[in-house]
Structure 1
């Protein structure tokens, strides 16, 4: 039936053209933004997941920065320990030389004193961002230092942080008490009274003598021998401390690499959920443009039907 009041062909053609235009608008938005899910209205579930994972990735980026700071701190501590080991090794050499008959102990002691001053200088300067793992005072005592290692989210959506802990008492070289004097007891390797293994295999302490306060001027051969054993024992402890810090530093590097890879994986996962396939979208746009042209032509033909009715009355 042909009617001048209701043009059914035009209505159908217009509805089709509107649908094509809506699809074209969606496709053009995807092409311009590069995302097929840009807002919650596009796909609420995928948008929610992507938003959460992007937020987690920002937290992981902060973790990566924290690991970089931790790596720098451990690098400084390891460098100080390694340098101090070289200096203490030289002191050990001086003690060996002083044990020889006829050696001027006063001159050797002057050399040892310079080496002791160098040890203090190394320990004091081994600070990074306000943290010093080898030099401690009454106001900054040795203790557990924590480095943020990872950001975690469990299956229930609960978040937590993984931390890498290190007890700086294990790497402490010098400790200064509240009176400003070297602490003669405790964990500090250079300021604490030296110990050694005696002939019976028991641990003996050289009271009032540490690597930093060692003075060989008036020492006899027995005292020199004990001091040599004490310095060697300290040297072994320093080597163990440096190994511990080096192991922590390696662990931080591995964790930093893991966090970086994890961030990349999350980015890829989010991309698979919300990124637009540009090849697919460009192909769809071409097809919609063709459909739009055909729709316009169909609407034009449908609109011309009303004009054709006039000819029936001529």
Structure 2
């Protein structure tokens, strides 16, 4: 049936043309944008995922900038700490030269002062964008990643870089919790008197000329007495004098022997060696079981169980003056002991010398203080809550113009060199970590971009072929609609 009111063929052809035009419009949109999913209506779920990933890409691009800034800051600090290590090594060379007595120590001191000033300049200038990692003890955090969990929660991760304070600041002694139990002084005073042990000959009269194979060992030097050695003095009192004189004739540094003031057959052996125990051993009628004369120096023993926190300060009082050291982050009792040694040495005390060592029995670090002058008071204490001393504390007080100063400087400069080496190593490790993270973030960003492209980018080869096909379909659909619209014209012939 033909109808002039309803042209079904035209309607079908029109719908076909509309469908072809719609597909052609979508394809042209893909070609112009390069995306198969350009808006949420194209594919809402894929579009939503891609937008989340795009935000992550933008975040990681910002992280790359943060890592670049952090790496530059650490690189400046690393280069500065390595330079400081070299300068400290030069200072050590000057100090070693000052150990000789026939050198111009004043000129050497001038050179050391110049090098010290140079180190101070480097510490002050070692900043990038206002950040100086060679001053203070607060850690810095460099944004390194954004971690998205399965529920969509995003958390930031950071690389922590520890500051390495290489200033000469003395710090500020705190007034917080008492740390006195952690530092125990061995005596209330440090004196110049030596320590002694007593060895004895037989307490009853005896013919000493008949004795043989008697020996006494003092500080590794052995004296042996055979039959006839006491022929001219056959009692024990006279023999004690001979043995006493023989010990003194050895010329052992800091070792003297005297006859006991109460019993003439006893010999008092005294040692004034500051930081060395002396072993005494006797055989035969010299009744001295192996014993030890303790070092003259007094000690401050530091607890091997207590922790050391940033700002913990310890103080040693010698006479009327006190000497302080305030620990920084990550330091130990070894650092405290060495810091106090530096503080005391920096004062330039004429009769006081120091040494730091670890007690082989208790495992405690000990600061030893020896006094070659008159007896003075001696005590130790500590308080929390202070501001840490700089890592180069005491450097600006090195004085090699005296024998004592030159000797003390030699051990103290070793502590400073080790500190600067540790700082440089720490910065080097942080720099390597940042470089690795930077490379990872770059690769991760590329992977995310590729993933987003795989979801939303159009396949241009396929789209191009589809465009050609749709253009042909459009032409055919237009022709079909033209033909369908001409069909009712044939009805006119029925009325001719």
TM-score (norm 2): 0.57
2:195 — aligned with what?
Answer: none
Q: Which residue is 1:163 aligned to?
A: 158
The structure carrying a bigger strand percent of its residues is 2
Aligned to 2:142, the other structure's residue is in SS state strand
| Structure holding more helix per residue | 1
Q: Please tell me whether the aligned partners of residues 135 and 175 of structure 1 are also in contact (alpha carbons under 8 angstroms).
A: no
Q: How does 1:1-314 map to 2 (within 5 A)?
A: 1-136=1-136, 142-168=137-163, 171-174=164-167, 176=169, 185-187=326-328, 197=356, 204=367, 210-217=394-401, 219-220=402-403, 223-314=405-496
Q: Given that residues 168 and 395 in structure 2 are in contact (C-alpha distance below 8 angstroms), is that contact kept between their aligned partners in structure 1?
A: no
Q: Return the offset for 1:233.
A: 2.2
Secondary structure (helix, strand or coil) at the match of 2:397 reads coil
| 3-state SS of paired residue (2:77) | helix
Secondary structure of residue in 1 paired with 2:127:
coil
Give, in whole Å, the separation in 1 of the partners of 2:465 and 2:168.
Answer: 72
Runs of 4+ in structure 1 over 6 Å off: none
In structure 2, distance between residues paired with 1:275 and 1:199: 69
| CA distance 1:124–1:64, shift in 2 (3 Å) | same
- 1:120-163 residue CA offsets vs partner (Å, 9 max, x unmatched): 00000011122111124xxxxx2121111111111000010001
TM-score (norm 1): 0.89
d(CA) in 2 for partners of 1:307, 1:271: 53
**Distance in 2 of aligned mates of 1:284 and 1:234:** 75
Q: Distance in 2 between matches of 1:203 and 1:226?
A: 16
Unpaired segments ≥5 residues, structure 1? 137-141
**Hey, what's the Cα distance between the residues in 1 that align with 2:59 and 2:456?**
20
Structure 2 unaligned blocks of 5 or more = 173-323, 330-334, 343-354, 370-392
Corresponding pairs, count: 300
CA contact (8 A) 1:16 1:295 kept: yes
Which one has the largest radius of gyration? 2
After TM superposition, give the deviation of residue 79 of structure 1 in Å.
Answer: 1.0
Q: Secondary structure at the match of 1:150?
A: strand
Q: Whole-Å Cα distance in 2 between the matches of residues 47 and 246 of structure 1?
A: 43
Partners of 2:409 and 2:138 lie apart in 1 by: 29
Report the alpha carbon displacement of residue 226 of structure 1 after superposing the two structures with TM. 3.1
Contact 1:63 1:148 in 2 (8 A): yes
Change (3 A) 1:13 1:235: same
* CA root-mean-square deviation: 2.4
For residues 95 and 204 of structure 1, the distance between their equivalents in structure 2, rounded to whole angstroms, comes to 22
1:18-38 CA-partner distances (Å, limit 9, x unpaired) = 000000000001100111111
Give, in whole Å, the separation in 1 of the partners of 2:27 and 2:341.
Answer: 77
Please give the per-residue CA displacement for 1:263-300, whole angstroms capped at 9, x wherever unaligned.
11111111111111111111000000001111111111
- What per-residue deviation string (whole Å, max 9, x for no partner) do you get for residues 33-86 of structure 1? 111111111100011011111111111111111111110110111111001001
CA distance in 2, matches of 1:144, 1:233: 23
Separation of aligned partners in 2, 1:231 and 1:203: 19
Q: Is the 8 A contact 1:76 1:126 kept in 2?
A: yes
